[in-house]
Amino acid sequence: MLKGQSAVVTGSTSGIGLGIAQALAHAGINVMLNGFGDASHIESVRRSLSEETGVRVEYSDADMSRHDEIAGMVSQAEAAFGAVDILVNNAGIQFVAPVDEFPDEKWSQIIAINLSSNFHAIKAVLPGMKRRNHGRIVNIASAHGLVASPFKSAYVAAKHGVIGLTKTVALEVAESGITCNAVCPGYVRTPLVEGQIKDQAKVHGMSEEEVVRHVILASQPNKRFVEVQQLAEVVLFLCSGAASSITGASLPVDGGWTAR
Ligand code: NAD
């Protein structure tokens, strides 16, 4: 029974994270939102989600590249809700360039936000989860956690790292009623991907529709974007009692991309 539990979803002011936070709230779970954006817009999302669902919805502006702020976000959630039962590590950014031209600061930023934040957030929630002998950790990795593409060295390295971290944590807490899994989406049409479509259209001299069909979805055999709602349902399932024996897994939700 998920109703009455509490969750932290990092990077949940946009895209996949927002969809997951909304789905958790609609399942009766208190949610700590996190991420960047316009403060008044975030506040109106927070208030309307709470009013629609009747759960408590809080917000932390913690920067996922700063481990002190990550620990502060978890403390804020524990103080507000009394516990963090569910952690969804979702915040992530992308940058595309050949390895020998990849800016050092972009490498460090992507490793910090897409990989190290997962470690710091897991470290902060585990003591409480161990005390209660229950917890669900879901890391939003990527198909790029399982296979590579050129020009995405930092992103691919970080997402492969997330899968290694997921397996290690799963083994360490296997007897504590805590599961730790990774979800590996293919392409989802969020602001992160809209930016890539625009960039690729310029680089290839193509229309955005041509880029979607021939570049972005070239690797996705079903030629359809993954829907945010589909990912949210997978996260809800991994948080359920039915999934209590699934741990250390990396679940592709990628229209067949990684079956190749
Ligand atoms: P998005 O750009 O729509 O959302 C990213 C979220 O992370 C936003 O809320 C943003 O404010 C937040 N964020 C960014 N930097 C942050 C920081 N330093 N501290 C706190 N929050 C920060 O992106 P999305 O497409 O929804 O991606 C979400 C996750 O899903 C990422 O980890 C991404 O790698 C992964 N993913 C996305 C796709 C896709 O096709 N969109 C595919 C596979 C995996």
**Half-sphere exposure at residue 174, Cβ-oriented, CA atoms within 13 angstroms:** 11
Q: Which residue's CA lies nearest to atom 33 of ligand 1? A: 92
Calculate the alpha carbon distances from 58 to 75, 78, 123, 139, 226 in Å.
Answer: 12, 11, 21, 20, 28
Q: How many CB atoms lie within 10 A of CB 47?
A: 12
pTM listed for this prediction: 0.98
| pLDDT of the chain, 260 residues: tens digit per residue | 899 999 999 999 999 999 999 999 999 999 999 999 999 999 999 999 999 999 999 999 999 999 999 999 999 999 999 999 999 999 999 999 999 999 999 999 999 999 999 999 999 999 999 999 999 999 999 999 999 999 999 999 999 999 999 999 999 999 999 999 999 999 999 988 998 899 889 888 999 999 999 989 999 999 999 999 999 999 999 999 999 999 999 999 999 999 99
Distance CA 253, CA 237 (A): 13
Under 8 Å between Cβ of 20 and 232: yes
Question: Domain 6-186+227-259 is of which CATH architecture?
Answer: 3-Layer(aba) Sandwich (3.40)
Any atom of ligand 1 within 6 Å of the Cβ of 54: no
Domain ranges, ordered by start, for the chain: 6-186+227-259, 189-225
Is 187 a residue of the active site?
Answer: no
Q: How far is the CA of 35 from the centre of ligand 1 (A)?
A: 9
Q: How many CB atoms lie within 10 A of CB 121?
A: 27
